[in-house]
Structure 1
Amino acid sequence: MTASIIGPEDIDAVLATVPRQRIRPLDAVRALIRLARDPEDTQQVALMGIALAGRSQRRVFRRFVSFPAGQAVIREKRSLARTLDDHDYLRTLKPNSLGRHYLAFMEREGLSARGLIEATPAVTRKLSELPEPIRLFSSYTSRDMHDLYHVLTGYGRDELGEVCVLAVSYEQLRIRAFRLISTTGPFVVRRYLRKAGIDGDGVFAAVREARRIGRAAAWIPSLDIEALLAEDLDELRARLNLAEPVAYRAVIARIRTATGWNSGPFSALARTV
């Protein structure tokens, strides 16, 4: 079954083996509170995703394997994280390619695809309980692609950038935890900015814009992501209909003008005041 998932009967057979999981809203709220206290605690996003998953990803999985690229991920047991961590390969790509921009982003931020896996052990444990096709789909689309979404959309790793990336990702993947964070996150971001003496104007507009960007864009999980790494980033954004995050950049520009801040979490900026 794993070697060739093509027809509806194969997909139904895989989904029938997925363990039933009830939604645990209180666990999600606890994780959300912990994330608000420490936006760097990536594990809390994973715990929210697990608590709210239920049966929500079944429809997305069906859509994913309806595309040749999705079927190739399952058939070939692809690991996007392994490709993304092959920095020697990424350096061979053209300077303005997605892969080179991704490499620059990860090196600048001190990140790795493997590091994200290690930072979310709860996800690793949960994935191990799932049938292999679902495990491959979930790790490929909702975990390993996260930092690629940053590069594709142009959002930074500050708190507002993270919320905006999850807003885009929710429109693409319909993961309930992403919706919860992108709905409540702007309040947290605005609180940090006000603690630093900066008004929060534009924060909510930036997240609304991110949702529109995610809805209007092509469905990125349907594409051969490994092949996209070699494409010119500007041309790729145009082809995928990924609009520029104008509202987000306006907020960032205002923060830089007011404080001299260049990068890093807003929470740290607030603590210096």
Structure 2
Amino acid sequence: MSTLGRCGARRLRARTFLNPPISTVSAARPFSVLNRPPPNYPGHVPLTTIERGALAIGAAVGSLINPYRADLIAALGEATATPHFIYRLRDAMLSNPTGRRILRDRPRITSTTLDVSYLRTLPSNSVGRAYAQWLDREGVSPDTRDSVQYIDDEECAYVMQRYRECHDFYHAVTGLPVFVEGELALKALEFLNTLLPMTGLSLFAFVRMKPAEKERFLSLHLPWAVRSGLASNELINVYWEEVLEKDVDELRAELNIEQPPDLRDIRKMMRLQRKREKERLQQS
């Protein structure tokens, strides 16, 4: 090595000793509440193991008390998905050609990326039309999904975000509404399809259901969810933006998902029966 080269090497070693790489410094410092590492992506909140456990417990209790708290359900999903379950879901995408394209393209499902007005003009039995009609009927928007915060790996954070934003497409394809019975039926299917713990933990909301709702769920929608969840393909690998014009019945067949009993029609029929019974009793 030349004299210039030796001098340069000595200067480099000196600078490295005096100013070690950031990763070395970060690794040497223990992760604690007072010494939190920098975020891995915009909005990321690094958590200690204790903080993650506390978040999971608090979110689980809060969402059981109020199952309509989407923010608590989202936090529960992130706190319980790491490290193993979200990596399994990411690996399922990596093992599938379409899943790999989704990970490469990283599409987002929002009112900006999807033209809902255009979807309303598609054929009546298309995926896009079913999605738009479901949004209109339930009064929800593609923009209602919280951003991922508590998953450390940046790629896995996108996988969770993708799952979260695709959830309404699962509703649209199955026709299940957003009230508790419909949500639990879909969560049961998602648990068997994704293995995300949050989807299984959500089923504890069963205890809040009325007796008639429990009976319907156990006799109709839970068996449907088990059959479809065990037989279905990985839903995370559906490139929904590319199947908007596809026939929804054809897509369900490709995914091996049965058409569930129409929960709205069932509830409407039961309300009508109760009304007729009440009128009959009044007349008698």
Smaller-chain TM-score bracket: 0.7 to 0.9
Specify the alignment match of 1:185 in structure 2: 205
**Structure 1 residue aligned with 2:134:** 105
Correspondences of 1:1-273 after superposition (within 5 Å) = 22=49, 24=52, 27-55=55-83, 56-81=85-110, 85-114=114-143, 116-117=144-145, 120=146, 123-126=147-150, 129-131=152-154, 133-140=155-162, 142-182=163-203, 184-189=204-209, 193-194=210-211, 198=212, 200-205=214-219, 206-246=221-261, 252=267, 255-258=270-273
**Structure 1 residues 210, 254: closer, same or farther in 2, change over 3 A?**
farther
Structure 1 unaligned blocks of 5 or more? 1-16, 261-273
What is the rounded CA distance, in whole Å, between the counterparts of 1:230 and 1:152 in structure 2?
13
What percentage of residue pairs aligned between the two structures are identical?
Answer: 26
- Give the match's secondary structure for 2:173: helix
Q: Relative to structure 2, which stretch is displaced further, 245-254 or 92-101?
A: 245-254
Moved over 6 A (4+): 17-21
Alpha-carbon distance in 1 for matches of 2:48, 2:160: 15
Shift of 1:50: 2.2
Contact 1:209/1:247 (<8 A) preserved: no
TM-score, length-scaled by structure 1? 0.72
Distance 1:151 1:90, change over 3 A: same
Letter matched to residue 150 of structure 2: K
CA distance 1:78–1:22, change in 2 (3 Å) = same
Aligned residue pairs, count: 229
In structure 2, give the amino acid aligned to 1:216.
Answer: A
Contact 2:60 2:72 in 1 (8 A): yes
Q: Is the 1:203–1:248 contact (alpha carbons within 8 Å) kept by the matching residues of 2?
A: no
Counterpart position of 1:3: none
What SS class does the counterpart of residue 148 from structure 2 fall into?
A: helix
Q: Shift of the alpha carbon at 1:199? A: 6.5
Q: Structure 2: any 5+ residue segments left out of the alignment? A: 1-39, 276-284
Q: Is the 8 A contact 2:111 2:141 kept in 1?
A: no
1:71 is displaced (CA, Å) by 1.6
Q: Give, in angstroms, the shift of residue 42 of structure 1.
A: 0.9
